[in-house]
Amino acid sequence: MEKGGDDRAIADYDEAIRLNPSDVAAYANRGDAWSGKGNFDHAIVDYDAAVRLKPNDAHAYNHRGKAYFDKGDADRAIADYDEAIRLNPRYAHAYENRGEAWNAKGDYARSIADYDAAMRLNTSNAACAPEAGHVIECIKPSATDPAIHRFDNPSYVIFNDYSGPGANLLVFLPGTNGRPPGPVRFLKEAADAGYRVISLSVNDVPAVGVYCPRKPDPDCSETFRRMRVFGDATLDPAIDNTPAESIVNRLVKLLQYLDRKEPQRRWGDYLANGAPKWDRIALAGQSQGAGMAAFIAQREKVARVILFSSPWDFQVTSGHVRRLAPWISGPGKTPPERWYGGYHEREKTADLIAQAYAALRIPQDHIRVFQRDLPPAQQSADSPNPFHGQGISNPAYDQDRAFFLGRSP
């Protein structure tokens, strides 16, 4: 959280505590805000209050332990992590933090044991079970950064045994309400094409397509996406999107986490000075996630961009005309020959997607317009846009996706 944001949060929690001196969450959250400012003594006082009011709160012990650790007191930190784990033996983040503290004390055997425990708990999802030829891991965002509190579904990491550090990374951004792993077929196709793949767990509610179309500001969707991608100033107090929750921070913290756990795989090669090394990273996305991928690719020179069924950000004019958001036709840093896109001709927003691909200067021979019909049973009245996800998931389009990935079918 930015310093100004911390100050505002502290003022709000001050008032909440004044109104209800027994508000455990207010003390804990104010402690987090003090930690964000680097004032660990104040943070510990607030965590003390939270523990006093709720002695079985594992999160308060874990956060107080982190404050002690950041203050330089690894022993008191470990004592708090011990209590957090006693209260919640499946608290992966506490194991992660205790492993960090043991490492600082030079007790590498205990450190490794705790990191292993954290990894096992973070990969307990059935979708993360290893399989022949693929290394698969699931990692909760909160395990990579304690400042991440929301949308904590595990990110999905998959790559082939033979894909070494020289392989490019493909980051997939899911659509609204999509949760990793998401389109497993496409992710495995990407891994088989030689990429290391991350399906990133991100904050995606509310959707830009819901929030912005009728707002008077023509730049609403650009401001919205900048907030979601880079963690810039919050657009609306009702939207919870701190800098820690941003797409870029989640990606950076996940790569740093992987690099600490698996240094032999050199995940840090995808970072430079604490930021993504975009020329080693391909971006792909479905629906709102594709819009996020396009937004990043306009502002950074990425290795490749693969868009499924988006972007189609628009504003409704006074004449009820849907007009594309200005950011889509702005200048971009990723060369046109690195862009690929596909959508189904019967999607509800097919006309806007076609306009957007032209505005983004995607070469015509890099665009696929999917046309296969669906059986009547799949065209349910319960699904307002049944053709929307076909391009990324239908086996009939395997060769098109292989082309997008740069792989000969």
Residue 98 has pLDDT above 50, yes or no: yes
Q: Residue 2: its pLDDT value, please?
A: 40
Give yes or no for residue 49 having a pLDDT over 50.
yes
Query: Strands, DSSP E only, in 161-201?
Result: 169-173, 196-199
- pLDDT tens digits for range 171-200: 999 987 677 777 888 998 999 999 999 999
Give the relative orientation of helices 24-36 and 3-19 as an angle to the nearest 10 degrees.
160
Q: Is residue 409 part of a domain?
A: no
pLDDT of residue 129: 59
User: Which of 114-123, 156-165, 245-254 has the highest average model confidence (pLDDT)?
Assistant: 245-254
One domain for residues 103 and 143: no
Cis amide leading into 206 (omega within 30) = yes
What is the pLDDT confidence band of residue 10, given thresholds at 50, 70 and 90? confident
95 in Cβ contact with 115 (< 8 Å): yes
Evaluate whether residue 42 is within a structural domain.
yes
Q: What is the CATH number of the domain that holds 96?
A: 1.25.40.10
Min mean pLDDT across 67-76, 96-105, 361-370 is at 96-105
Residue 372 is assigned to a structural domain of this protein? yes
Alpha helices in 281-349, H assignment, sequence order: 288-299
CB neighbour list of residue 107: distance below 8 Å, 6 or more residues apart: none
Q: State pLDDT tens for residues 383-408.
A: 567 888 889 988 999 999 999 999 75
Q: What is the CATH number of the domain that holds 390?
A: 3.40.50.1820
Total number of domains constituting the chain: 2
Claim to verify: residue 43 and residue 62 sit in the same structural domain: yes
In this structure, the answer to whether residues 359 and 314 fall within a common structural domain is: yes
Interval 257-286: pLDDT, tens:
999 988 888 999 999 999 999 999 999 999
What pTM, to 2 d.p., does this model score?
0.69
CA–CA distance from 140 to each of 154, 199, 249, 285 (Å)? 4, 12, 14, 20
Contact between 107 and 77 under an 8 Å Cβ cutoff? The reply is: no
Picking from 122, 140, 159, the residue at the C-terminal end of a domain is: 122
User: What does the pLDDT read at residue 3?
Assistant: 43
Q: Are 29 and 168 contained in the same domain?
A: no
Contact 390, 369 (CB under 8 A): no
Which residues span the domain enclosing 392? 127-404
Q: How far apart are CA 182 and CA 192, in angstroms?
A: 17
